[in-house]
Amino acid sequence: MPTTFESALWLLPGGLAGTLTTLTLWWTMRRVRPGTGYAIWTRVGAGYILRLGIVAGVLIWAALRGIGPLLWAFVGLMLSRWAIILLLVWCSPNRTK
């Protein structure tokens, strides 16, 4: 049974997965433009499968360690996603002041 500290360390892999998936989604969406054709949709689909695999892998890995690590990894995933989204919105050149 992992201790509370060991469980809380799962914030790091969860946060890393959340950051990585959010930034890859942002990168993909910056390349979608009207008239880009069907090639971009292959990238969108491949990116989706990659992001799903990363998140599922981290959560399954944490679940194998117990419910505490799973919950901490999920919290890290969600917190990092929201932090990156807020950072991207605040630093956007299109943001109205």
pLDDT at 73: 95
Mind listing the pLDDT tens digit of every residue in the chain (97 residues)? Answer: 778 778 889 999 999 999 999 988 888 888 887 777 777 888 888 889 999 999 999 999 999 999 999 999 999 999 999 999 888 888 877 766 6
CA 46 to centroid of chain Cα atoms? 15
Which residues fall within 8 angstroms of residue 10, CB to CB, at 6 or more apart? 62, 65, 68, 69, 70, 72, 73, 76
- Write the burial class of residue 28 (CB in 10 Å: 0-12 exposed, 13-18 middle, 19+ buried): middle
List the chain domain ranges.
Answer: 4-31+38-90
Alpha helices in the chain (DSSP H): 4-8, 11-31, 39-65, 67-90
